Amino acid sequence: MGNTITENILANHMDKQKVSPGEIIECQVDIVMANELSAVLAIEEFEKAGLNKVFDNHKIVLVPDHFTPNKDIKSAEVSKKVRDFAKMHNIVNYFEIGRGGIEHVLLPEQGLVLPGDLVIGGDSHTCTYGALGAFATGVGSTDIAAAFATGKVWLKVPEQMKCIFYGKLNKWVGGKDLILYLLGKIGVDGARYKTIEFTGETLKELTIADRFTIANMSIEAGAKNGIFVPDEITLEYVNQRVAAGPLTRRTLNQVIYTSDPDAHYSETIEVDVSQIEPQVSMPHLPSNTVPISQVGDIKIDQVVIGSCTNGRLEDLRIAAKILQDKKIHPEIRVIVIPGSQQVYLDALTEGLIEVFIRSGCVVSTPTCGPCVGGHMGVLASGEKCVATTNRNFIGRMGHATSEIYLTSPAIAAASAITGKISSPVDRH
C-alpha cells in the first residue's frame, strides 16, 4: 500500500519509507514559526529550561501580527520580549511591523515555505501552507520552545481524508465558498486529527489564493492539516516567490511529493462545485453555512475585508471590483486590511486602495487585530459584522452578544454597499 503526500513528507522527515496513521513519530522541521503571542510563551519555556542556543537561526520565523501595532502597554511588552529574543539569537527571519504582515500571508510571500516542507507554527492556521504541498500544522508553545532548541517535533500520524472537487465554478464562487460549503457538509469535527487532501478537476480553476483560503480553514473541520498536491499553478507561484524573496536563500526542492496511486484514505468526499452558490457562515460556528439566496434580510453594522484567510491581493481585487465607483452604506463601517506590506503596496500601485478610500472604507496596516477581537474593529453589544475571517464563535470579535457572518470578499463588498448581507450577483 502506498503513501499519501502527507505520509510521504512525514516519512521523509524522519528518514523512513513508511508511516502509519496513529503512529507517534519524531520529525525534523524545515520551519518553526511563531507570532508574538505564541512566541512569548515559547521563549519563557525556552529560558526556563536553561536553553541558550537555537538550532538554526535561519529556520525560525517570528512575526508580530496579532496586537500590532501595539494597542497597549501589555502588548508592547510582549512584542519587546520577542524582539529582544530575535536580536539575542540573530533570528534572520524576524519581521518587524512595516516589514512584515500577517504571518500566514507573509511566509509564502517571502518564499519561506516550499513544497515538501514540514512546518510547525504557534498558530492553528499554520495549516495554510498546505496549499503549497507542504505539511504544515499548528502546535502549542511548549512544542515551539522544544523545536527552537532541537529542530524536531513529535507528531501523531493523522488519518487521511480526500476531498474531490469536480465541476465548473459558478460566478463569484471561489475558495472561501468551497471550504465553507465543505464545513457545512462535514461539521467542525468532521476531519478531527485527519489530513484533508484536496484534489479534483476543479483545482485548475482555483488560484493559489483560493487554495490558501481552503487550506487555511481546514482547521475549522478539526483537521491536523489540509494539503494540495503541487501542480503547475503551485510551482509557478513558488518559483516567483523564491526569486523575489531576499531573505530566504532557499531553493526549490528537487523532489516534489505526490500521493501514490494505491494510497489509502479513510474517507473520500466528492463535491460538485457547479451546485454551489456563494456561501455565508451564520453565527456561531463556521460550519453553520447557508447559500446566499437563503440568508434573508440581515442588516449589519460592520464589514471586515482581510485576515490570513482573505487578505491577499487577489481578495482585495475582488472587493475593489465590486466597490469601484460605489459608496458604502452610510450606516455601516468597512475596514480593509491588506495581508502584508507587499500586498498593501501592490494594492496601492494598482489603485485598489484609492477605490476603498473613495468608497468610504478605512484601510489598516496589516494586522490580525479584529479577527481575534484585539483591536482595529472590535464589536459592541448586539452588533453584526460580515467578515472574510475564519471564525465566528461567540465573542470572537468583541462583545459576547455580537454576531459574525463569514463570507468571501465578494459578498463582503456587496454587503458593504447595501448595509445588509447581499449577493455580489446583485451588485455587479
Q: Are residues 288 and 259 in the same domain?
A: no
Q: Are residues 261 and 387 in the same domain?
A: no
Q: What confidence tier does 228 reach under pLDDT thresholds 50, 70, 90?
A: very high
Contacts of residue 92, defined as CB under 8 A and 6 or more positions apart, other chains included, come to 57, 58, 247
The domain tally of the chain equals 2
| Residues above pLDDT 90, as percent of the chain | 89
Query: What's the confidence (pLDDT) of residue 184?
Result: 97
Q: Are residues 304 and 252 in the same domain?
A: no
Query: What's the confidence (pLDDT) of residue 240?
Result: 86
Q: Decide if 276 is inside a domain.
A: no
Q: Are residues 383 and 255 in the same domain?
A: no
For the chain, the distance separating the N- and C-terminal CA atoms, rounded to the nearest angstrom, is 50
Residue 379: is its pLDDT beyond 90? Answer: yes
Quote the pTM value: 0.95
Q: Decide if 328 is inside a domain.
A: yes
CATH code of the domain covering residue 245: 3.30.499.10
Q: Which of 239, 271, 303 is the last residue before a domain boundary?
A: 271
Domain that includes residue 135, residue range: 5-271
Q: Are residues 155 and 292 in the same domain?
A: no
Query: What's the confidence (pLDDT) of residue 245?
Result: 60
Reported in sequence order, the residue ranges of 255-312 that DSSP labels E, i.e. its strands, are: 267-272, 279-281, 289-291, 302-306
- Which pLDDT tens digit goes with each residue over 268-311? 999 999 999 999 999 999 999 999 999 999 999 999 999 999 99
Q: Which of 240, 271, 302 is the last residue before a domain boundary?
A: 271
Residue 246: is its pLDDT beyond 70? Answer: no
Q: Decide if 215 is inside a domain.
A: yes
Q: Which of 238, 271, 304 is the last residue before a domain boundary?
A: 271
Residue 252: is its pLDDT beyond 80? Answer: no
Query: What's the confidence (pLDDT) of residue 375?
Result: 87
Query: What's the confidence (pLDDT) of residue 369?
Result: 85
- The SS3 call for residue 339 is coil
Helix (H) or strand (E) holding 314: helix 313-323
Q: Decide if 362 is inside a domain.
A: yes
Average pLDDT over residues 29-54: 95
- How far is 61 from 59, CA to CA, in rounded Å? 6
Contacts of residue 226, defined as CB under 8 A and 6 or more positions apart, other chains included, come to 127, 130, 131, 195, 196, 197, 198, 214, 215, 216, 217, 218, 219
Q: Are residues 262 and 292 in the same domain?
A: no
Q: Are residues 315 and 180 in the same domain?
A: no
Average pLDDT over residues 214-218: 97
Q: Positive or negative, the Cα torsion across 359, 360, 364, 368?
A: negative
Q: Are residues 203 and 296 in the same domain?
A: no
Residue 117, CA distances (Å) to 130, 230, 254, 267, 278 in order: 9, 12, 12, 25, 33
Q: Decide if 29 is inside a domain.
A: yes
Query: What's the confidence (pLDDT) of residue 118?
Result: 97
Q: Are residues 11 and 144 in the same domain?
A: yes
Q: What is the mean pLDDT of the chain?
A: 94
Q: Are residues 251 and 348 in the same domain?
A: no
Is 227:6 a contact under the CB 8 Å cutoff?
A: yes
Bridge partner list, 225? 195
Q: Are residues 22 and 161 in the same domain?
A: yes
Q: Decide if 307 is inside a domain.
A: yes
Q: Are residues 34 and 156 in the same domain?
A: yes
